[in-house]
């Protein structure tokens, strides 16, 4: 693989427009690629680089021409060191060659030159891990993400910023009340709305908002950007919950499913059937 094998023309549409098109054409579903040890064992694979590669290749080949977005969890590749990252690099390129968008789930967050380096890892077309979008953590202050925001704009990529996550521990930070009376989560959503102002048909700067959180009508989710909604499937949420959680913003929701799909492997036809079922349920809920 050459250094530029994952790149795309600089004239490509912004991420938000490409995501809207992919969701409309392929269905509003994001499939996680989470090769943790227990799942490898369920597939009859060893917890080693060979098992990792077999698992990842099977998922990409089975679903790469049908799902809108893949979300590889970087940590499950990083644990194997450079050989695991090589598997991830190949998966990113091959997924995008099949027409799927790649959202790298890395949740990076830092300041200054370190944040700039993280941004270049995932958002610079010269990088072997160049992706369509990446998850980021804003809890060193939203301004700390500026290098990633600027690079995403430059190369037509997207960001998904943690805002209201599904893990219970997140509430102690995300729902903390600032001096002006607003919560930290509401502040982050406000920043994202400002980034997406005027974008059509969809902004490129999204929020991560858990599908398991119930009624969120006290938060303004109308950020004119995508809302990545983890928690469908194994975590207990269902597509039918989406209108209650997201209200009027539901049509910008990108539900994310990992174990709910992946547990049906390694049979490719079973993986495809699971995706078709979830996609159909999501479309019904949104209708």
CA 225 to chain centre: 13
User: DSSP string spanning 21-47?
Assistant: HHHHHH-S-EEEE---HHHHHHTT--S
116 near 136, Cβ under 8 Å?
Answer: no
Distance (Å, whole) CA 189 – CA 46: 42
Distance (Å, whole) CA 57 – CA 43: 13
**Is residue 71 flagged as an active site residue?**
no
Distance (Å, whole) CA 83 – CA 53: 10
The residues, any chain, with a CB within 8 Å of residue 52's CB and separated by 6 or more, are 35, 40, 76, 77, 80, 84, 87
Structure tokens belonging to residue 99 = 């027409």
Catalytic residue among 8, 21, 57, 107: 107
Helices (H), 98-240: 112-123, 146-155, 171-174, 184-195
107 near 113, Cβ under 8 Å?
Answer: no
The residue assigned the tokens 């983890």 is 230
Catalytic residues: 107
């Amino acid at each position: 693989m050459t250094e530029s094998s994952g790149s795309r023309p600089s004239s490509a549409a912004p991420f938000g427009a490409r995501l809207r098109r992919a969701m409309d054409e392929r269905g509003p579903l994001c499939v996680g690629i989470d090769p943790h040890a227990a799942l490898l064992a369920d597939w009859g694979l060893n917890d080693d680089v060979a098992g990792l590669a077999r698992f990842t290749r099977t998922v990409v080949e089975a679903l790469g021409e049908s799902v809108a977005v893949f979300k590889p969890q970087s940590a499950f590749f990083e644990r194997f060191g450079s050989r695991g990252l090589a598997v991830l690099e190949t998966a990113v390129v091959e997924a995008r060659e099949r027409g799927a968008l790649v959202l790298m789930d890395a949740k990076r967050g830092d300041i200054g030159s370190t944040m700039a380096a993280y941004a270049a890892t995932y958002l610079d077309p010269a990088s072997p891990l160049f992706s369509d979008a990446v998850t980021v953590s804003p809890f060193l202050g939203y301004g700390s993400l500026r290098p990633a925001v600027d690079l995403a704009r430059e190369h037509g990529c997207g960001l998904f910023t943690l805002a209201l996550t599904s893990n219970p521990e997140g509430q102690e930070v995300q729902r903390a009340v600032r001096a002006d009376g607003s919560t930290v989560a509401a502040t982050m959503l406000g920043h994202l709305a400002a980034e997406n102002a005027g974008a059509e048909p969809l902004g490129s700067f999204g929020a991560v908002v858990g599908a398991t959180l119930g009624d969120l009508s006290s938060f303004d989710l109308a950020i004119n950007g995508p809302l990545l909604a983890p928690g469908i499937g194994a975590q207990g949420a269902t597509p039918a919950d989406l209108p209650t959680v997201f209200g009027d913003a539901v049509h910008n929701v990108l539900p994310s499913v990992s174990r709910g799909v992946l547990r049906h492997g390694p049979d490719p036809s079973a993986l495809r059937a699971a995706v078709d079922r979830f996609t159909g349920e999501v479309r019904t809920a949104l209708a």
